[in-house]
A = this chain, B = another copy of it.
Amino acid sequence: MIPGYAGKVLHIDLTKGSVRKLRLRKSFIKSYIGGKGFGARFLYDMVTPRINPLSPSNPLMFFTGPVTATGAPASARDVVVTKSPKTGTFLDSNSGGFWGCWLKIAGYDGLIITGRAQKLSYIYINDGSVEIRDATGLKGFGVYATTEALVKEVGDKNAKVAAIGPAGENLVKLAGIVNDLHHVHARGGPGAVMGSKNLKAIVISAEPRKPRFEIADKDGFTDYNRKIIKEVVMGPPEEWARTDGTPIIVRWSNDVGVLPTRNFQQGVFEDVDKIDAEVMRSFRTSKGACYRCSIACRNLTKIKDDKWGEIELDGPEYETIALGGSNTGLSDFKAIIAWNSLADDLGMDTISLGNVTALAMEAFEKGYLDKDVLGGMELRFGDADVQMELAKMIAYRKGIGDVLAEGAREFVAWLGGDAYKLAMETKGLEYPAYDPRGSIGMALAYATADRGACHLRAWPIAAEAFGDMDPFTTEGKAKLVIDMQDLNAVKWSMVFCDFLDADYELITNYFNHVTGLNYKPETMKLIGERINNLIRLFNVREGFSRKDDYIPYRVAYEEMPVGPNKGFRVKPELFKRMLDEYYKLRGWDRNGVPKKGKLRKLGLGRDISRMNVSGIIS
């Protein structure tokens, strides 16, 4: 086996109750690296077009990568891959913490789960052995209680747990899979897929001192790792992450006028002073880190309060503060911590949750929803109690929460009329916390991201409002977005965390030290492009095309009313220009479909004919 890999993937079918160990081919590893890349290939090969994401045939897969658990900075990460029940697209969702490392240490590069258990179950991976166990006693449990109960039940204090909460059990489309209490594979509804499989949790026992994988060039790796920790991690590039972590972005975003406020009605928040990093620090008890990560970006916070009780949290991150703070008009940081903690326990994506909460509030304030429908409840911006209550209503699918549980697009579809004007989403995934009306490249990034509106595929705002590029013009944005998407596809395949300021050279050096292979940075770049094209092919096969690469009404037609971007909107013709250029540079046709020549260059030639597999003759 290639060093850096355990060489095995577990395939568990919950309908059959079967456990198989698959050996990975070397050519496969070399072409797709790990993590997202592995997932892209497996999903393309395993998923018949148009299957229901919540049916037994949809695989729920977890993958690690060559750097996972090696002690490289920002390498304590795994990727969940499945067909998204929220968007119908390919989905990969990352998470940090310890659980993913434990999976690899226990000897698995990945875990593929198909079928559906007849009763609520959990999987216990105890180094070599794998069991499917009864979890009916945990029905309805939150993530915290589930984690505690399972660590106890398996009798290993060091066991790591990835679990779903009530939201996942109730097939809420905002449901994530939560590992190590507060690390969430959040976006795109992987928790609903896990819930549809009647799978409450995956528990792993492993011996970190005896990892079941090798590092090819140990000395070289150690030297290089020291150098990177010294120069990059402990140097200026990571200072923000080492000190305040993502909450620092609250201030950055507000300063440049892109901080989503009251459902993206504006980009500056009058109470930003109450939710910024300084405020966060006042609740911080210590810094924290994922497994062997030298960045240690995590903020461990605590509140003790008559209203919310005593809460300890690993968080909140920027996206949570923005979507559940300024975007819902909430300026009470304690309440944000309490809401974040509740969302983790219920098992939900705070980005989508904050987004749909704000959407419901705007819909109420604008008269799309009346009190009768809400049993007298008033959905006002800034009301912490309402925000908490809505989170529970969504997780338990109560009242209006049952509709919000499907997401922003479905909610406005249900409201009907022109309610669509309020929904901030692309492909059914809710917008994260950067308003494109202050960095036009973000409009393209969200529109073309594989899993729907996502800031972790490309983050052009780094170069635009937070950098030197003009944030209001389209020039160079298509290339910027493509370059970032391809680089990130490689990062999520290694699997590195977003917080490592990594270029192809750094990534390739790590890869070569770990695997003993001799890749060039250009090869890595090609692999990133290959992964993104294969994923696009998956989405095209599912019926996605140009029509699905869109921006919301508000972004296109409503000018930013206040702040530094006042008067700006992403005019459809500007967006069209970027999208046309994007397709052209990608080697895709006008409809967003990869051309044969491009696919052949990427080694995906035979996948064109595979577009018609599965008995599909046309």
Q: Which residues of A contact B (CB under 8 A)?
A: 15-18, 46-52, 55-57, 85, 87-88, 114-116, 118, 173, 372-373, 398-400, 402-403, 406, 409-414, 416, 420-421, 423, 427-428, 447, 541-554, 556-557, 572, 575-576, 579, 611-618
* Pairs A–B under 8 Å by Cβ, sample size 11: A15-B399, A15-B400, A48-B420, A57-B414, A115-B403, A116-B403, A118-B402, A543-B543, A546-B618, A550-B617, A552-B617
Bound CA span A87–B52, Å: 9
A613 to B416, CA, bound (A): 12
- Cα–Cα distance between A557 and B85 once the two chains are bound (Å): 34
CB atoms of B543 and A545 under 8 A apart: yes
Residues of B with C-beta under 8 A to A51: 406, 409-410, 413
**Cβ-defined contact, B402 with A576, below 8 A:** no
Alpha-carbon distance A88/B373, docked complex (angstroms): 29
- How many copies of this protein are present in the complex? 2
CB-CB nearest in chain B for A114? B414
For A410, the chain B residues whose CB sits under 8 A away are: 48, 51-52, 55-57
Please name all residues of chain B whose beta carbon is closer than 8 Å to the beta carbon of A549 when the two chains form the complex.
618
* Residue contact B15 to A402, C-beta cutoff 8 Å: yes
Of the residues B87, B409, B615, contact of A420 by C-beta under 8 Å: B615
Contact flag A47-B413 (CB < 8 Å), given A547-B616, A552-B615, A556-B617: yes
With contact pairs A15-B373, A51-B410, A57-B410 given, residues A618 and B402 touching in the complex (Cβ less than 8 Å)? no
Please name all residues of chain B whose beta carbon is closer than 8 Å to the beta carbon of A541 when the two chains form the complex: 547
Find the residue from A87, A173, A546, A615 having the highest chain B CB count within 10 A.
Answer: A615
| Given known A55-B410, A373-B16, A413-B51, contact A615–B118 (CB-CB < 8 A) | no
A579 touches B618 (CB 8 A): yes
CA distance A413 to B43 in the complex (A): 12
* A interface secondary structure, majority: loop
Determine which residue in A18, A414, A541 has the highest number of CB atoms from chain B within 10 A of its CB, and name it.
A414
**For the complex, what is the distance from the CA of A85 to the CA of B556, rounded to whole Å?**
32
Contacts of A420 in B (CB 8 A): 48, 613-615
Closest-by-CB residue of B relative to A555 is: B617
Tell whether, in the assembled complex, residue B55 and residue A406 are in contact, meaning their CB atoms are under 8 Å apart: yes
Smallest CB–CB gap between A591 and chain B, Å?
Answer: 9
A17 and B403 alpha carbons, distance in the complex (Å): 14
The answer to whether B115 touches A615, judged by C-beta atoms less than 8 angstroms apart, is no
- The answer to whether B413 touches A57, judged by C-beta atoms less than 8 angstroms apart, is yes
Report how far A617 CA is from B578 CA in the complex, Å: 13
Q: Assess the B612–A550 pair: CB atoms within 8 A.
A: yes
Assess the A543–B546 pair: CB atoms within 8 A: no
Chain B residues with Cβ below 8 Å from A399 are 15, 118
Q: Which residues of B contact A409 (CB under 8 A)?
A: 48, 50-51, 614
The contact of A118 among B55, B398, B423, by CB within 8 Å, is B398
- Find out whether the CB atom of B406 lies under 8 angstroms from the CB atom of A617: no
Q: Closest CB of chain B to A363's CB: distance in Å?
A: 13
- Give the residue of B15, B50, B55 whose beta carbon is less than 8 angstroms from that of A88: B50
CB pair B612 A414 closer than 8 Å: no
Cβ of A423: which chain B residues have Cβ within 8 Å of it?
A: 615
New A-B contacts (14) at CB < 8 Å, excluding given A47-B413, A552-B617, A553-B615: A15-B402, A15-B403, A16-B373, A46-B416, A55-B406, A55-B410, A55-B414, A57-B413, A114-B414, A116-B402, A118-B398, A541-B547, A542-B543, A554-B615
Residues in B with CB closer than 8 Å to A546 are: 618
A588 smallest CB distance to B (angstroms): 14
A87 to B414, CA, bound (A): 21
Q: Say which residue of B17, B115, B547, B557 sits within 8 Å of A414 (CB atoms).
A: B115
Q: CB distance A48 to B413 under 8 Å?
A: yes
A614 interface neighbour in B47, B413, B554, Cβ under 8 Å: B413
A162 to B98, CA, bound (A): 53
Q: Give the complex CA separation of A464 and B413 in angstroms.
A: 44
User: 3 tightest CB-CB pairs across the interface, nearest first?
Assistant: A543-B543, A48-B413, A553-B615
In the assembled complex, the CB of A43 is this many whole angstroms from the nearest CB of chain B, namely 12
Q: Given known contacts A15-B403, A373-B16, is B611 in contact with A414 (CB within 8 Å)?
A: no
In the bound assembly, the distance between CA atoms of A554 and B575 in angstroms comes to: 46
**Which B residues lie within 8 Å of A543 (CB)?**
542-545, 548
Contact in complex: A50, B616 (CB < 8 Å): no
CA A122 to CA B288, docked complex, whole Å = 54
